[in-house]
Chains A and B, each alone.
Chain A
Amino acid sequence: MKVAVCARESHINSPVDQRFGRCPYFVVVDVDSGDWEGLPNTGCHSGGGAGIQTAQLLVNAGVKAVLVDRIGPNAMEVLARAGIQVYEGISGTVSQSVEAYRQGHLKLLSQPNSPRHSRRGRS
């Protein structure tokens, strides 16, 4: 089963990133085999709707769960409809976060834990 983790860099020992839509990379880990690969987040530079675009990326990548610190309402809605589970509470590195997930220390989210970003401005 493939799990994606919000990361600052593209490897298993990267520090995690607090943001979902704007994290530069995901590290996609196969929790059964321990194999992993880096996935650049093409949504992170978008002018608006980064969370939506990032969620689409993970749907296309076929992940079953994503480990986050904070996630907003639009991204949460997409992931929920796609049946992708969202766990909150990551810290340290990607590998530490995956270990916490394996041991059941992360909390399954059913609601977004971060507010909608300001929409005033470029529109």
Chain B
Amino acid sequence: MLVAVASGKGGTGKTTLASSLALVAAEKGKVIFLDCDVEEPNGHIMLKPRWEKKEAVRVPVPEINQEKCTFCGRCAEICAFHALVVLPQEVLLFPTMCHGCGGCWHLCPAGAISPGWREIGLVEEGSSEGIGFVRGRLNVGEAISPPLIEAVKERCRPGELNILDAPPGTSCPVIRTVKGADFCLLVTEPTPFGLHDLELACEMVASLGVPCGVVVNRSDGDDRLIRQFCQQNNLPLLLQLPHDREVARGYARGIPAVKVRPEWKEYFAALLSFIEEGGCTGARTGGAQREGRHGQDYRLRESGRTGSR
């Protein structure tokens, strides 16, 4: 099973949630943590894996035979990403703009372009306390991360719980991470910024056809903004993690939330069972029903919530 942890807004707690979820899942079964935020991976700070192997990831890039080239300009004309410029006596390539689509080497009338390879980053694998760990690391200055994210996702293990820690936002790298997941947890914070970006993230996940549920981090105990949005959109609000100074202190020192607050483990366990028992279909067809069944198990601040009504 593939569970993606994403958020529209950055800094809401994706890695906090994903790392604690992995630790709790590892007590029951096999789990692998895949850090798909290849531009700024940080899951290793929480889970501290021992590295076992690494592999370079390459993407195709045009190689131009200047002797065969007639400088007709066709390649620059068809390049949708403006990676090629044809001067009167020279062809310039901007490798970081290239998406490796192959249009230029297929369409060059002089047959002067052939595919070459260019390294864009690394996939590293290891393990931590029984948790499989994979992360991608994009080389500095590279612009295009989806092929590296794809290489990370190729390390998913069927039959195990695969937790994909996504980059923030709603752009291509996030889409590449969430696409094909069985469930997506959207982490947010109870602020207007959190709500705004949650709305964008929900649209993105819906258009990918991936069922999702919402987790509020740094909950104020009420989270009215987020709660209303979830109700209006029939989204399950799965977990409200309190704003906790000790957890924040632990985070700053690279200590996962459930190690600071072992009593939180049961909430992560309930969240996992919700997803594994078909939260997927429940969330898609009607979150409210699911909420009713599981609500009290995984809500941390049930009393705060009802008390405010």
Contact = CB atoms under 8 A, between A and B. Distances in A.
Given A81-B92, A119-B96, A46 B87 contact: no
B145 interface: yes
B82 A46 contact: yes
Contacts of A82: 87-88
A48 B82 contact: yes
A78 B171 contact: no
B91 to A, nearest CB: 10
B81 interface: yes
Interface in A59-88: 59-60, 74, 77-78, 81-82
A78 B172 contact: no
Interface residues of A, number: 21
Given A123-B143, A123-B146, A49 B94 contact: yes
A49 B82 contact: yes
A78 B82 contact: no
A55 interface: yes
A53 interface: yes
Contact of B92 (A77, A119, A123): A77
Contact of A123 (B73, B86, B145): B145
A49 B39 contact: no
Nearest to B175: A122
Contact of A121 (B83, B99, B171): B171
B82 A52 contact: yes
Nearest to B77: A56
A59 B71 CA distance: 13
A122 B94 contact: no
A49 B97 contact: yes
A102 interface: no
Contacts of A123: 99, 143-146, 171-173
Nearest to B86: A56
Contact of B172 (A46, A53, A74, A121): A121
B144 A78 contact: no
A73 to B, nearest CB: 10
Nearest to B73: A60
Nearest to A53: B82
B90 interface: yes
A71 to B, nearest CB: 15
A41 B94 CA distance: 20
A119 B143 contact: yes
Given A59-B87, A119-B143, A121-B171, A78 B92 contact: yes
Nearest to A49: B82
B214 interface: no
Contacts of B86: 56, 59
A56 B85 contact: yes
A56 B92 CA distance: 10
B269 to A, nearest CB: 35
Top 3 A-B pairs, shortest CB-CB distance:
A49-B82, A119-B143, A52-B82
Given A49-B83, A52-B85, A81-B92, 5 more contacts: A48-B82, A49-B82, A49-B97, A55-B85, A121-B169
Interface of B: 39, 73, 76, 81-83, 85-88, 90, 92, 94, 96-97, 99, 143-146, 169, 171-173
20 contacts: A48-B97, A49-B81, A49-B83, A52-B82, A55-B85, A56-B76, A56-B82, A59-B85, A59-B87, A77-B92, A78-B92, A81-B87, A81-B90, A81-B92, A82-B87, A82-B88, A120-B171, A123-B143, A123-B144, A123-B173
